[in-house]
Structure 1
Amino acid sequence: MQRKALKMFLHPGKEAEYKKRHDEIWPELADLLKSVGVQNYSIFLDPDNCVLFAYLEAEDLSLLDDLPQLPIMQKWWAYMADIMECNPDNSPKAVEIPSVFYLA
């Protein structure tokens, strides 16, 4: 299993809205993520600085490479753009976090 971690940046005051939107994640988006093997996907929030920490596992992380071109992903990004720091294409500004320790 391959693992991936990254951080994203929420606008202050949007914590409850971010949680609400993810509590109501679109079934077609959840299905898409599962279809490319995403498992154990978690997002945590540091309330002191509005930094989101995301962690996921997949058998082959390269299968995630085509997700940004899919309409449902672009629609989700547009939906989230008003509450997060985003790139010009509405994808969330994200910084990959390298693994430095793993206990299996």
Structure 2
Amino acid sequence: RLKYQGRRFAQIVKLKPEFEEKYKECHANVWPEVLKQIKDCNIEDYSIFYDPDSHILFASFKYIGYDWAGDMEKMAENPKVQEWWRMTDSYQESLVEGAKSSLAGSPPWWKGLQ
């Protein structure tokens, strides 16, 4: 039987320039509960890159689970993740038309790339 190789995802969002330092500070010390939930939802190799010229954040990760919708539902139900999203969303501007927040779900806050 072949091992499932997973699926890579890439997403972008815009960082409000006035929050660059706060954003970097919080991501230098991601809350342990958030990191655990990410792992428990079958996400690994998660990285976020920042382009200071365009203020774009580029996120990349690998999903190794078999139930994306279910895992994302579990992620969104975690109170610490909700608190984290409220904080980090306030530093960002979505590039998705009609997006309200990470908590709102659809349309997504981060713009998916192909």
TM-score category (smaller protein): 0.7 to 0.9
Structure 1 runs not aligned, ≥5 long:
99-104
Q: Contact 1:9–1:93 at 8 Å: present in 2 too?
A: no
* Aligned mate of 2:112, from 83, 90, 96: 96
Q: Distance in 1 between the 2:71 and 2:48 partners?
A: 17
* Aligned mate of 1:65, from 72, 91, 95: 72
Higher relative contact order (Cα pairs below 8 Å, separated by 6+ residues): 1
Sequence identity (%): 30
Please list every run of at least 4 consecutive aligned residues from structure 1 whose deviation after the TM superposition is greater than 4 angstroms.
none
Q: Distance in 1 between the 2:60 and 2:90 partners?
A: 22
Q: Distance in 2 between the 1:19 and 1:10 partners?
A: 11
Deviation at 1:13, TM superposition (A): 2.6
1:28-43 pair list within 5 angstroms: 28-43=33-48
TM-score by length of 1: 0.81
Structure 2 runs not aligned, ≥5 long:
1-5, 103-107
**Count of aligned positions:** 97
Report the aligned-residue RMSD.
Answer: 1.8
Deviation at 1:82, TM superposition (A): 2.5
For the residue of structure 2 that corresponds to 1:65, the secondary structure is: helix
Question: Does residue 80 in structure 1 map to residue 96 in structure 2?
Answer: no
Deviations 1:37-87 (A, max 9, x none): 211100001111111000001212605421223322211111223211254
